[in-house]
Chain A
Amino acid sequence: MKKLMFGNEAIALSALHAGVTLGTGYPGTPSTEILEYFSEFGGKAQWCPNEKVALEVGIGVAFAGGNALVTMKHVGLNVASDPLFTVAYTGVEGALVIISADDPDMHSSQNEQDNRNYARSAGVMMLEPCDSQECYDFFWEAIRLSKEWKLPVILRPTTRVCHSMSIVEYDEKEYTPILPVKYNPDKPGRVMIPGYARPAHRRLREKLAKIKKWNETSNLNKEVIKSGKRGIITSGVSYLHVLEAEPGASVLKIGMCYPFPEEKVRNFVQKHEKCIVIEEGDPYLVENCRYYGIQVEEKPEMYRFGELNVNRVRRILRCDTSPEPPIKRGRPPRLCDGCPHRATFTLLGKMNCIVTGDIGCYTLSVLPPFQAMDSCVCMGASITVGLGLRHSLPPEEAKRVVSVIGDSTFIHSGIPGIVEMVYNPPATGHVVIVLDNNTTAMTGMQEHPGTGKKLSHEPTNQVVIEEVARAIGVENIVVTDRVSVLEKAIEEALVNNKTNLIVIRKTCALLRKKQQKSEVTQSVGEQSNAPTGCN
Chain B
Amino acid sequence: MHQQDVINIVLAGIGGTGVILSSNIVAEAAFLAGYDVRKSEIHGMSQRGGSVSSDVRFGLKVYSPMVPDGEADFLVVMHPDEIENNLYRLKPVGVVIDTSLIIGESNDLSLLNEEKYLPVNQKNFNICLLGALSNYLDIPFDCWQKAIYSNLPKKVHEQNKGVFEYGMKLTEMVRAK
Which among B34-42, B97-105, B123-131 touches the partner chain? B34-42
User: Given that A244-B63, A328-B88 are contacting pairs, would A164 and B39 also be in contact in the complex, using a CB cutoff of 8 Å?
Assistant: yes
A residues 128-162 in Cβ contact with B at 8 Å: 131, 159-160
A residues 331-379 in Cβ contact with B at 8 Å: 331-336, 361, 364
Which among A49-57, A193-201, A470-478, A521-529 touches the partner chain? A521-529
A residues 387-416 in Cβ contact with B at 8 Å: none
Q: How many residues of A contact B (CB 8 A)?
A: 44
Q: How many residues of B contact A (CB 8 A)?
A: 39
Residues of chain A within 8 A (CB-CB) of B24 are 165
Q: In the complex, A528 Cα to B154 Cα: how many Å?
A: 11
Cβ-defined contact, B51 with A329, below 8 A: yes
Which residue of chain A has its CB nearest to the CB of B81? A331
Cβ-defined contact, B38 with A107, below 8 A: no
Cβ-defined contact, A309 with B66, below 8 A: yes
Interface presence of B121 (CB below 8 A): no
Which residue of chain A has its CB nearest to the CB of B24? A165
Interface presence of B48 (CB below 8 A): yes
Partner pick for A240 among B15, B39, B45, B64, CB 8 A cutoff = B64
Partner pick for A163 among B42, B48, B49, B154, CB 8 A cutoff = B42
User: Given that A335-B48, A524-B155 are contacting pairs, would A310 and B66 also be in contact in the complex, using a CB cutoff of 8 Å?
Assistant: yes
Cβ-defined contact, A166 with B155, below 8 A: no
Cβ-defined contact, A534 with B28, below 8 A: no
Whole-angstrom distance between the Cβ of B3 and the nearest chain A Cβ = 10
Q: In the complex, A361 Cα to B48 Cα: how many Å?
A: 8
Interface presence of A497 (CB below 8 A): no
Which residue of chain A has its CB nearest to the CB of B50? A333
Cβ-defined contact, A333 with B48, below 8 A: yes
Q: In the complex, A164 Cα to B63 Cα: how many Å?
A: 12
Cβ-defined contact, B38 with A164, below 8 A: yes
Residues of chain A within 8 A (CB-CB) of B49 are 331, 333-334, 336
Whole-angstrom distance between the Cβ of A481 and the nearest chain B Cβ = 22
User: Given that A165-B37, A309-B68 are contacting pairs, would A330 and B50 also be in contact in the complex, using a CB cutoff of 8 Å?
Assistant: yes
Partner pick for B64 among A244, A332, A528, A533, CB 8 A cutoff = A244
Q: In the complex, A331 Cα to B86 Cα: how many Å?
A: 11
Residues of chain A within 8 A (CB-CB) of B51 are 329-332
Interface presence of B140 (CB below 8 A): no
Q: In the complex, A241 Cα to B66 Cα: how many Å?
A: 9
Residues of chain A within 8 A (CB-CB) of B63 are 240-241, 243-244
Cβ-defined contact, B68 with A237, below 8 A: no
Cβ-defined contact, B31 with A534, below 8 A: no
A residues 446-500 in Cβ contact with B at 8 Å: none
Residues of chain B within 8 A (CB-CB) of A330 are 50-51, 53, 82, 85-86
Name the residue among B31, B44, B85 with the largest chain A CB count within 10 angstroms: B44
Binding site for B on A (CB under 8 A): 4, 29-30, 107-108, 131, 159-160, 163-167, 237, 240-241, 243-244, 247, 309-311, 325, 328-336, 361, 364, 442, 444, 510, 521, 524, 526, 528, 533-535
Nearest 9 Cβ contacts at the A-B interface? A330-B51, A333-B50, A108-B44, A333-B48, A333-B45, A164-B65, A244-B63, A165-B39, A164-B40
A-B contact pairs, 21 of them (CB 8 A): A4-B28, A107-B42, A107-B44, A131-B38, A160-B66, A163-B43, A240-B65, A244-B68, A309-B68, A311-B69, A325-B69, A329-B51, A330-B85, A333-B45, A333-B49, A334-B48, A526-B153, A534-B48, A535-B43, A535-B47, A535-B48
